[in-house]
Amino acid sequence: MDSTTVKKLLRRVHPVALLSGLLLVALIMMNAATQNSDRFGNLYSLLLLINLIGIVLMLVLIGTNVYKLATQYREGAIGSRLTLRLFSMTVVIAIVPVLVVFFFSLQAINRGIDSWFDVRVEKALDDALLLGRTSLDAIKQDLVSKTHDMAAELSGTSTRLAAPTLNLLREQYTLGEISLFDQDGLVIASSSQEGLEADTLLPDSPGEAIRSQIRRGLSYANLDPVAGGELQLRVVVPVYSRDVGVADRILQVLQPLPTRYANLGESVQSAFAEYEKLVYLRGPLKFGFTLTLSLVALITILIALWASIFAARRLVRPIRDLAQGTAAVADGDYRKRLPVPGNDELGVLVKSFNEMTERIHRAQTEIKRGQREAEVQRTYLETVLTHLSSGVLSFDTRGNLRTYNTVANDILGVDLEPGIGRRLGWIVETEPRLIPFEDVLSHHMENGSPDWQSEVVLQDGANRTVLMLRGTRLPGLRGRHGGYVLVFDDVTTMIQAQRDAAWSEVARRLAHEIKNPLTPIQLSAERIRYKCMDSLPDKERETLDRSTRTIVDQVEALKSMVNAFSNYARPPQIQATPLNLNTLIRDVADMYRGKSGKGLPIELELDEALPDIKADSGRLRQVLHNLITNSQDALAETKSPEIRIETRLNGKSEHHYLELVVEDNGPGFPELMMDRLFEPYATDKEKGSGLGLAIVKKIVEEHSGSLSADNTGHGARVEIRLPIAQIGVTPEQKQEKRA
């Protein structure tokens, strides 16, 4: 047994050793106290204190051990059931004999102490005291009766005749002293056995409490001690006056008891007090023996209970440790090591357990290392998928959705989380616009296409989205089919950009090819008109004039169209300067309002709180001209034409943007052209070039803005959003402002 085990054992044993020492001290002192009753009184408090300390410590030890055991049993701790079974057996074996011995020992002690005292003597002393009290009560009642008789005689006696009357009454009734007082306790007259006059020596006046009792119509009678150890009876009664106008008085009688009465009473009282003193020790003796015996019984029970718990725990501990270790291994803790209790069979079992857990721990470490590497790869793959600009979907062999990335949600415009573990057909129930997407995907998956690529067009009203789908069949174990992965991109913007680039190239070439011969044609027509106009007859002259004018007008129209081509094909050269959009709108609107008479009715709803933006004023002026011109052309046949231009600030925090809205009450945009409004040469006008809105879109995008167009039910509406640039604020200053 090593030093650590010894220390643990001593820490568990020392409470019992302490209680055993207290028990020994208490027994020694109790033995000395029972042999010497005088010494018992001095040791009683100390013995009581020691016994109380012993009881408290025992209760603490018992309660602590029982509470721990009960807690372990309720929690289902391993080994607690076996420990509780051993503990219960010890309780029955230890407590029952101790209680039997305790009961009979207590009975024997009580009978032994009671035999020390004669009950008949105690009864005789009680009778003697009762007899003395009865005799005194008879004497007192007789004196009270005589005093009332004397008070009746004095009720009609005047104050002047009070003293002689008191002398006669004292001698008649053989009294020691008789006195008459007024209501305030002042002496009126007095007479005593010594024959002294009332005016030479004041008698003992009744106190305020006695006078208060007399004023309430009551009498007072009591036995008072006097000097020399003698006793006297004091009786005080009221004297009611018969004469009107004379106040009531107080009569006091003092009658000494005979000396033999006092001696006999004192003798009986002294004997009884001595006996009571002896009887007083009987209770403490019984209590002390009972307490000591109880202490012995409790400590004996404690030792038995503690020993049973200690032995049961030491016996069960190796089994409990082994069971806990097995449970830990079952929960995945393969680093559990158990202390080897010894070299016996149980020790060999514990050693084998430790070797087994060590091998499992090494194997588990290797498995966790592989899992961590797989988790790193999975995290890496998820990170890549999250930051991809393409949507990614993976399916199992039955076509059920397994994983997706957030970009897939954004492109499809739906939340795919509810579809995990389901076929993608559910999506068309809530989003019919995705039917082409689901049809293409289901077709290739059902046909088992290993690698495929397809373009899908999703139509949602006027919105048209083009998706490029690429699917691949995943390899499975042993060459089996492992599911599908689908990668798709929204190529709408890219296709539109390609189309815009192609149209820009077409416009550039057309402008170049058409513009070159226009000037010679115009000059040639004007020269022919100038040279031949005067030499021709009137009829031919009119024909020549009309023809040359037509050529010149058409050339001017072609020049306007070529300029539009040039503007559309021209690369962006934005010269951004601080600009107040409201001021620009007012200038353009005033120009249109001033045309031909009343002018064009334009209603302005401008947000005066708009901040300045950085923009090219010339390019934005062209945007306004194109939009107002389109509205003006659309309102040509409208009876009450109206154009409304509105500006407002929108957005949150630092992501503010300006909104510019142009509305009219014309026929609106043709429904068949809603998805091609901003494409070049898309127009329903006979003489339109189809570049107005295309140029507007290009200029807005050059300013990092966006635009949209739709019909409001009572006309057309174009909405432009332009970001706000803080004038004169650098990116570093913006960062400091945020901080």
Cα atoms in the Cβ-side hemisphere of radius 13 Å centred on 34: 17
pLDDT tens digit string along 464-523? Answer: 788 888 888 887 655 566 788 888 888 777 776 666 666 666 666 666 566 667 677 777
pTM summary value: 0.37
Question: For the residues 654-662, what does the mean pLDDT come to?
Answer: 80
Decide if 380-497 and 574-723 have a common fold: no
Instruction: Quickly count: other Cβ atoms within 10 Å of residue 215's Cβ.
Output: 12
Across residues 571-593, what is the average pLDDT? Answer: 82
Query: Could you tell me what percent of the chain has a pLDDT over 70?
Result: 71
Domain boundaries along the sequence of the chain: 3-117+276-329, 140-194+204-257, 380-497, 574-723
Non-local (6+) Cβ contacts of 326 within 8 A are 353
Q: Strands 577-579 and 613-615, how do they pair?
A: antiparallel
Do 681 and 569 contact (CB within 8 A), yes or no? no
Predicted local confidence at residue 6, as pLDDT: 45
> What's 574-723's CATH class?
alpha beta
Instruction: Report pLDDT for 662.
Output: 92
Across the range 683-708, mean pLDDT stands at 76
Pick the CATH number of 140-194+204-257 from 3.30.450.20, 1.10.760.10, 1.10.3710.10, 1.20.1050.40: 3.30.450.20
143-188, pLDDT tens digit by residue? Answer: 888 888 888 888 877 777 888 888 888 888 878 888 888 888 888 8
What average pLDDT does the segment 87-111 reach? 81
The answer to whether 412 and 434 have CB atoms below 8 angstroms apart is: yes
User: CA nearest 613: which of 579, 647, 584?
Assistant: 579
Nearest-angstrom CA–CA distance, 727 and 611: 9
Q: Please report, for the chain, how many H helices and E strands are present, in that order.
A: 17, 17
pLDDT of residue 731: 39
* 380-497, CATH topology level: Beta-Lactamase (3.30.450)
State in Å, rounded, how far the first CA of the chain is from the last one.
Answer: 68
